[in-house]
Chain A
């Protein structure tokens, strides 16, 4: 949306309101009209009006309430002008200024409803992510398409189909009932984590939209944590994202190349985020219901709290990966555990585990890991062959430069 480019003070106020309020305005309008497209159009209209009015009248004291009221009035006019759907109109007509209405228990119910509906298991996984980005965060179809490297018309189709299924199949607009909450929350957490990873580990090329996805994922995780403070996996996910993102500034060098964890300038890590993440992990684990996000967050906390690479508690990390593998077995977890074991018990022990990982033959990091272990063991020719295999499979520019540099090193050393 154009509001993002605002340079004036009020432009910035609208942009800030967009980030903070978009999901809430859309969610409220969906509840009132039951019409997803109408809700988005009216929210857009409200922000467009804000760009017009706020420079003249000043930024309202409660921008969210102003935007919701404006969007609601616009919806009311639209419905009046169109074929009157009396039920909708009656509801809108009797609706007080809903933005001022305190939500039950202080929870922003509408936004939560929106997130859970976007992540309903009756929708395809890729549609859940796209729909969450579109309706909860207000990303444009073009931005979402770029983030997921698909053509814009294809992404538009995906969104249209998802909204059509919500309407035609009667997907309910609500937070699931208590007996379904845990499993549905798992789907929501999965979407948020996927979103974060899209920004964190760009799988291909380089695109500026992606770094923004990490921030948006953290925002969603915070929202969920506010809403479900007693769910330790929700706490675990927020901790994990904060801890991963704390290294953001140190992960790439001046040329945009990836810097390995051990080589990162730790003074550039975000200490506040690490402290918050580590405290959240402790809080979650004290509940005694460990889950995959909590364990991954605990691993990230081990890295984050080590003052130097040499002080990293690798035996602890290897043990945590062992727990993670027991909880959610998978070849990528096994590979990560192998790396930790290599650090704790030596490259040979790690290599033995790497060679037992199955199902990742086409994954460049498997070959890159083997290559690094072989290099550490002084088996340069095998290392070079593995680096070449990793290079052939890697599609992200930064990964490719890192691998090419390492390949050059083992060649020269040999």
Chain B
């Protein structure tokens, strides 16, 4: 099954250089391990929420608004698409990602077209 991990964290977090280096190293190690296991299909960071535009179409009219959908402190910072046997494996993999300690990770199964 494919799961999307939405990596959520606090953009206002200002780590010390050492903290930042540790998080980057931990994240790289996670990516390397999951790529090596063939679990991770694709993933990336996202530019900060200031670059986000939200699209809504209402009554045939396209409404664009500046910024992310939700006004919360925690924002989606990145994502990974992973391929796992079941939710247990997906949750285990997500729990190893350093962002699970710093922010949170939403894990959701993909919903392929044609499936109910």
Q: Which of B8-16, B56-64, B73-81, B83-91 contacts A (4 or more CB under 8 A)?
A: B83-91
Are the C-beta atoms of A169 and B87 separated by less than 8 Å?
Answer: yes
Q: Which residues of A contact B84 (CB under 8 A)?
A: 170
Prevailing SS type, chain A contact patch: loop
Are the C-beta atoms of B88 and A172 separated by less than 8 Å?
Answer: yes
Shortest Cβ distance from B74 into chain A, in angstroms? 20
In the bound complex, how far is the Cα of B91 from the Cα of A257, in angstroms?
Answer: 48
Prevailing SS type, chain B contact patch: mixed
Within 8 A of B (CB), among A158-201: 168-172, 176
Within 8 A of B (CB), among A363-401: none
Of B86, B108, B109, B111, which is within 8 A of A172 by CB? B86
Shortest Cβ distance from B105 into chain A, in angstroms? 13
Are the C-beta atoms of A170 and B86 separated by less than 8 Å?
Answer: yes
In the bound complex, how far is the Cα of B90 from the Cα of A169, in angstroms?
Answer: 10
Of B1, B85, B87, B111, which is within 8 A of A122 by CB? B87
Chain A interface: which size bin? under 10
Within 8 A of B (CB), among A322-380: none
Q: Which residues of A contact B86 (CB under 8 A)?
A: 170-172
Shortest Cβ distance from B82 into chain A, in angstroms? 12
In the bound complex, how far is the Cα of B88 from the Cα of A405, in angstroms?
Answer: 54
Q: Which residues of B contact A176 (CB under 8 A)?
A: 88
Are the C-beta atoms of A170 and B1 separated by less than 8 Å?
Answer: yes
Please name the residue on chain B nearest to A174 by beta carbon: B88
Q: Which residues of B contact A171 (CB under 8 A)?
A: 86-88
Q: Which residues of A contact B87 (CB under 8 A)?
A: 122, 169-172
Shortest Cβ distance from A31 into chain B, in angstroms? 15
Q: Can you name 9 A-B pairs with beta carbons within 8 Å?
A: A169-B87, A169-B108, A170-B84, A170-B109, A171-B87, A171-B88, A172-B85, A172-B88, A176-B88
